[in-house]
Structure 1
Amino acid sequence: MAKESSSSTSVPVMAEGEEEEELMLHGSDSGWVEARTHCDHLASLNSDLLHIPTPHTPCNRCQHPDENWLCLCCKDVLCSRFVNKHMLEHFRHNNHCLALSFSDLSVWCFSCDAYLDAQAILPLRPVYETAYILKFGEAPPVRTL
């Protein structure tokens, strides 16, 4: 049996695993990610991102209907790393590093290994707005920056 401390000040002792859980809730493992407002790879953007496939377009390789991304360099639609990894393979083979998720309309830069704020980065705004309209049938809400 463990001996109890006779100190008048008590420090809460976390049970095994609670400390890791606490770090996950408040650290990078919590799922919260701050999107970047700058990216050095925007020069690779396709010149016509006002005309894009609809968000319901299946993966061009495996025809998977969900979790698909739009390559912002060549406008190819490919599935995510959680399906068959076709967008990741596309990046590795073609070095097309910018992609928009049709699931949540986030923009990812594979070279920066980071999400990009599509509303704050002016060259990304048109494709974000077009994808939003195609997905929801209305313009996105105005966000003040």
Structure 2
Amino acid sequence: MASSSSSRSDQDRPGLGVGLCEGEEEYGSESGWVEARSSCDHLCSLSPDLSHIPAPQNTPCYECQHPSENWLCLSCKEVLCSRFVNKHMLSHSRRTNHCVALSFSDLSVWCFSCDAYLDAQLIPQLRPVYQLAYILKFGQPPPLPQHN
């Protein structure tokens, strides 16, 4: 469960989140490196149909029509802008409790409730939508993940 209060504002925190999960640390917060999580308790909220998504290029924010820095809600598939534009995805997450979203900019996946990036190539429920978004954006399948 997400913390309801934080010692720092959303603008000071990495990503788009609203607080860390209970007892969790920000991985790499001192160095700027953020380690993506390999699991998330909020994946049950994903849309059952993520095999049909809007194209990452040129899909504007549903609310302000801004053309870039947009995120795809993985619960309802609305496309909304990032906190660096007009914060519509952040507002949507807070209003609807839809907490998992995919960035059309870099194809990262963020959980607003956990305040963490999720490893979309490692988490089985996220892999298909990540692969589809990659193909739609780059015209070819993503490279296989490198496991060290």
TM-score range with shorter-chain normalisation? 0.7 to 0.9
Could you say what secondary structure the match of 2:92 adopts?
helix
User: In structure 2, how many angstroms separate the alpha carbons of the residues matched to 1:31 and 1:62?
Assistant: 30
Name the structure 2 match of 1:6: none
The partner residue of 1:92 within 75, 88, 94 is 94
Higher relative contact order, structure no. (Cα contacts within 8 Å, ≥ 6 residues apart): 2
Look up the equivalent residue of 1:79 and give its one-letter code. C
Name the structure 2 match of 1:63: 65
Calculate the TM-score normalised by the size of structure 2: 0.78
Name the structure 2 match of 1:9: none
Q: How does 1:1-145 map to 2 (within 5 A)?
A: 28-56=29-57, 57-145=59-147
User: In structure 2, how many angstroms separate the alpha carbons of the residues matched to 1:29 and 1:62?
Assistant: 34
Could you say what secondary structure the match of 2:126 adopts?
helix
Query: CA offset at residue 143 of structure 1?
Result: 1.5
User: In structure 2, how many angstroms separate the alpha carbons of the residues matched to 1:62 and 1:31?
Assistant: 30
Could you say what secondary structure the match of 1:73 adopts?
coil
Deviations 1:16-75 (A, max 9, x none): xxxxxxxxxxx6244310000010000000001111000020100000001000000000
User: In structure 2, how many angstroms separate the alpha carbons of the residues matched to 1:143 and 1:38?
Assistant: 16
Gaps of 5+ in 1: 1-26
Q: Which has the larger radius of gyration?
A: 1
Percent identity, aligned pairs only?
75
Calculate the TM-score normalised by the size of structure 1: 0.79
User: In structure 1, how many angstroms separate the alpha carbons of the residues matched to 2:31 and 2:146?
Assistant: 26
Look up the equivalent residue of 1:103 and give its one-letter code. S
Look up the equivalent residue of 1:62 and give its one-letter code. C
Look up the equivalent residue of 2:54 and give its one-letter code. P
Look up the equivalent residue of 2:115 and give its one-letter code. D
Gaps of 5+ in 2: 1-27
User: In structure 2, how many angstroms separate the alpha carbons of the residues matched to 1:113 and 1:121?
Assistant: 17
